[in-house]
Structure 1
Amino acid sequence: MPTASFLSALTGLFAQPAAENPTVAMVEAAYRDLGLDARCLTCEVPPASLGDAVRGARAMGWLGFNCSLPHKVAVIEHLDEVAESARLIGAVNCVAIRDGRLVGENTDGQRFLAAVQQVMDVHGARVTLLGAGGAARAIAIELGLAGAAGITIVNRGEERGRALAGDVGTVTPAAASYLPWRGPLAAPAGTDILVNATSIGLFPDPAVPAVDFDTVAAETLVADVIPNPPRTGFLAQAAARGCHTLDGLGMLVNQGVIGIRHWTGREANPDVMYAALAEVLR
């Protein structure tokens, strides 16, 4: 019986076929380590068939599934319940099927928060967030709910950036503002956490987000959500500045741990998942 699956209409973050997909390898390694008789499958689902796919998952006894773009918003209408943070984010990427009920979660922000909390307390932190897309929204709202004092949204598109800042300031206690991104960004004074939540630098693109690292303090925690490559040019520049860095590969592992927890109630071993990723990405 498949414990969890991935409903996707788009190619994921990696170029490998399903048999070599890092996420599948990572999750199945965790299942084996936990002694679970379970599989992780990838399923291509066109938007028009999403409802049928969700009903089929429940009918076939799955314990849950992840869903990627473009299903993260559309899937909500097919669920019985949506967790509070996912409701505020307005998107679901992880569904657990509990006693026949479909419960939607958003682990994009949860995985980021888990990574940050391993190295610092986010309560009272001042965050500068690059991007205003779905990942940025999930991260901003989770950080705001966790007690971040201020979140600055940096985006080239003003309308989208202001909209996200307004939403974060409305649904969380954090003070939120928009900062235009025109040319290399001078990091706002007092930034505790600097996050690249854009796709700039995603394999095979070697580009680096336009940030003037001379304005980034060495004590700033710098994170990149991109898992491939794990060591992006953005993080390399931050490390050269002396900053502590968090990579997207660690966040991907966190997402797997959180998803398995939602689906099975079990705690996966992150070391096992890292080893599986290293084998596929070597």
Structure 2
Amino acid sequence: MSEPLNFKQELTCVFGQPIAENPSQCMMEAAYKDCGLEWRYQTIEVAPENLEQAIGGLRAMGFRGANLTIPHKVAVIQYLDGVSDAAAMMGAVNCIVRKDDQLIGENTDGKGFVQSLKELTDPQGKKILMFGAGGAARAIGVETALSGAAEITIVNRSTQRGEELAELLKEKTGIPVTFVPWEGNYSVPEDVDVVINATSIGLFPDVDAVFPIDYSSLKPNMIVSDVIPNPPQTHLLREAAKAGCPTLDGLGMLVNQGVIGFKLWTGVDPDPRVMRAALEEVFGV
């Protein structure tokens, strides 16, 4: 009698909104293949009212982990067995890791951004200006503060959300944090070291959206970054480059948070060059 076929594969996934071609799936599966791992990374659409059942299914089917997108990053916490210290500070989870029989929440977004930023400068002692007060801003704010940023200024249209994030960062990290209402074209102060767009302005399909700042206020000593991976070169980054600023695109953050999640799930260090090449193929860079 022939040996039975073994169809077992380790599984990871992303729970979130539907997209035609998930860049993260392409990136992660390229890394699995490069590392010789018979793993799969699946894209699974989950409605908010079905999140609890989805996490139960993840447990039952032995998934090794998962990523989460909007709108699940906060709601999922109640269904997990625990969260990391950083995720607890942020009150948001974008990565689930199975540890023995427990599902633990982590947040790799901010760590991925900081790792990308360190390719140009160490955030320690730097003055950070960040646009936005959503989940990405929360993660980046916490991790840049924990990495030694001197101070953070949050610029946001919603006063309530901006003030809430400023208070959270001050309370959790102890560094000076200021909130400034975003009205009209914001003028960047001369002493800022790093400018971060943590909003969705310019995200596909609104690729021609003009980022509302005074571009004449950007100086060559300022690093300008954008968390948007699609398109990699946003209007903000193109104009910042014209002003002589070093720039960071959103692919770096996406790759680095993927590297962290990959290691948490598999125990293996992937090659970030393979992961970025997969993303660049998706986006036609």
TM-score normalised to structure 2 length: 0.93
Amino acid at match of 1:129: M
Amino acid at match of 1:269: D
Paired residues for 1:193-272 under 5 Å: 193-205=194-206, 206-272=208-274
Instruction: Tell me if 1:6 matches 2:14.
Output: yes
Amino acid at match of 2:49: A
Which residue of the partner structure matches residue 171 of structure 1? 172
Corresponding pairs, count:
275
C-alpha distance in 2, partners of 1:146/1:21?
A: 30
C-alpha distance in 2, partners of 1:183/1:218?
A: 23
Instruction: Tell me if 1:135 matches 2:136.
Output: yes
Which residue of the partner structure matches residue 83 of structure 1? 84
Which residue of the partner structure matches residue 117 of structure 1? 118
C-alpha distance in 1, partners of 2:152/2:210?
A: 22
Which residue of the partner structure matches residue 55 of structure 1? 56
Query: Which one is further off, 215-224 or 53-62?
Result: 53-62
Instruction: Tell me if 1:72 matches 2:80.
Output: no
Contact 2:224 2:245 survives alignment (8 Å): yes
Amino acid at match of 2:32: Y
C-alpha distance in 2, partners of 1:151/1:132?
A: 12
C-alpha distance in 2, partners of 1:86/1:156?
A: 25
Query: Which one is further off, 205-214 or 145-154?
Result: 205-214
Contact 1:29 1:276 survives alignment (8 Å): yes
Amino acid at match of 1:247: D
C-alpha distance in 1, partners of 2:159/2:282?
A: 39
Contact 2:196 2:224 survives alignment (8 Å): yes
Contact 1:147 1:173 survives alignment (8 Å): no
Contact 2:126 2:150 survives alignment (8 Å): yes
Query: Which one is further off, 126-135 or 156-165?
Result: 156-165
C-alpha distance in 1, partners of 2:277/2:22?
A: 14
Describe the superposition over 1:180-202 as per-residue Cα deviations: whole angstroms up to 9, x where unpaired. Answer: 21111111231010001110001
Amino acid at match of 1:234: L
Contact 2:22 2:43 survives alignment (8 Å): no
C-alpha distance in 2, partners of 1:239/1:198?
A: 19
Q: Report the alpha carbon displacement of residue 7 of structure 1 after superposing the two structures with TM.
A: 1.1
C-alpha distance in 2, partners of 1:148/1:250?
A: 20
- SS in structure 2 of the partner of residue 186 of structure 1: coil
Contact 1:115 1:254 survives alignment (8 Å): yes
Q: Report the alpha carbon displacement of residue 99 of structure 1 after superposing the two structures with TM.
A: 0.7
Amino acid at match of 1:183: G
Which residue of the partner structure matches residue 152 of structure 1? 153
C-alpha distance in 2, partners of 1:117/1:160?
A: 28
Which residue of the partner structure matches residue 274 of structure 1? 276
- SS in structure 2 of the partner of residue 103 of structure 1: strand
- SS in structure 2 of the partner of residue 185 of structure 1: coil
Q: Report the alpha carbon displacement of residue 167 of structure 1 after superposing the two structures with TM.
A: 1.1
Contact 1:122 1:143 survives alignment (8 Å): yes
Gaps of 5+ in 2: 1-8
Gaps of 5+ in 1: none
Q: Report the alpha carbon displacement of residue 98 of structure 1 after superposing the two structures with TM.
A: 1.2
Q: Report the alpha carbon displacement of residue 21 of structure 1 after superposing the two structures with TM.
A: 2.2
